[in-house]
Homo-oligomer: A and B are copies of this chain.
Amino acid sequence: MKFLTGEMETTTKEIAEILAGGLDGEEVKVNGCIHKIRKMGEVAFIILRKREGLVQAVYEEGAANVTLKELAEEAAVEITGIVKSEERAPNGFEIRIHKIRILSRPSAPMPIAVNKWKMNTSLETKLDFRPLSLRNIRERAKFRIQEGVTRGFREYLRGCGFTEIHTPKIGARGAEGGANLFRLEYFHRHAVLAQSPQFYKQMMVGVFDRVFEVAPVFRAEKHNTKRHLNEYTSLDFEMGYIESFEDIMQMETGFLQYTMALLEREYQQELKLLDVSLPKTDKIPQVRFDRAKQLAAEKYHREIRNPYDLEPEEEVLISRYFKEEMDADFVFVTHYPSKKRPFYAMDAPDDEKFTLSFDLLFQGLEITTGGQRIHDYAMLEEKLQQRGMTQEGMEQYMLVFKHGMPPHGGLGIGLERLTMKLLGEDNVRETTLFPRDLGRLEP
């Protein structure tokens, strides 16, 4: 009888193991994908692509068991050879090839040049060949940064006593209602895809006090802009026992600070590849919605057309204002008008036309919407009535409030948007692995 013990028997070395040292002059085995073959007369440089980065291997005619003709870019190989320090090589070493074992061969040359530093193709082409274009090391680095953001979110919140939850994406109705719901048939019943985990995370505040979720959300919006997608990853949290809605913004600020430090510490290689400087998060200004509009209007001589909403151009101007006046990359805009917020938003006690809610703008773009929610059953019933809404289909949601809920609030962050702004990209598709939009259901 054979047993699995969890111990992997590997004969190959990873880059980190070679960098850890002591292997100069030693023979090693390294596997990877042939990213590039550069012929230089008698010798050739064979650049391997590994998950950690690139490895330079040196091929000499006659010194290896295969001819150069047998090798192709994008073949998977295992190379045996001697490690030699070499300043000009990636990671400071190269491997003098003795032997190459071919693990797998491509059937055709690549339709796009993924081994160039910058891919010289349009976004459309990159997306058409997404599984291939991501093999470019700068393209893939974006999604390592994205992983870092998700890690930062989870690690920071867990440290603050939050519990991670998984809530259903198929449901009987949406949290926000309205027209932007994807509908499906569920065993002869009508169902919809979740626009947000809003109702569920609120329900779970009554259970765990503080919860978070990282999961897809679905919006059937007919937008075709650079910042909208029909499916994206939402970083959501909800926290109970808040003393003020500012607690939610403090929590988000803490998350941003933690995450920037994490990226700085563990994702340095990717930041360098993408030439990214991380934004400052030590203190983030907070400004009321109406005041923000006014400041931008005055400074940039722009007429306020609609006092109850923020146009995309105004978001840009408000961000510009705070960048110019106090060198701030982020700004919390608070007290959005009630009529622009969902029924569950808590109105400001001193002026019911406004809510205890906020958006976080990051260099001109909204990346978060959040706020305090109504926790009192009678208040919630009254709000629904005022809006002419029915409780039908919301019985379970209402039940939670009927039986007691602490003061609470939370927020949702668009992961791909936040990544886009961090990396200085101008289209959210650049930082979405496989985007879904009006035109794209594949790959």
Contacts and interface: CB of A to CB of B under 8 A. Distances in A.
A144 B375 CA distance: 24
A132 B140 CA distance: 44
Interface stretch (A85-93, A281-289, A304-312, A348-356): A281-289
Contacts of A404: 33, 72, 74-76, 104-106
B436 A168 contact: yes
Interface in A175-221: 182-187, 189, 191, 193, 200, 203-204, 206-210, 215-216, 218, 220
A399 interface: yes
A397 B191 CA distance: 30
A91 B177 CA distance: 44
Interface residues of A, number: 129
A6 interface: yes
A150 interface: yes
Q: So how many copies of this chain end up in the complex?
A: 2
A51 to B, nearest CB: 4
A347 B110 CA distance: 28
B107 A377 contact: yes
Nearest to A158: B151
A250 B170 contact: no
Nearest to A406: B76
Interface stretch (A20-28, A115-123, A159-167, A338-346): A159-167
A411 B412 CA distance: 31
Contact of A167 (B326, B405, B433): B433
Contact of A103 (B186, B230, B403, B406): B406
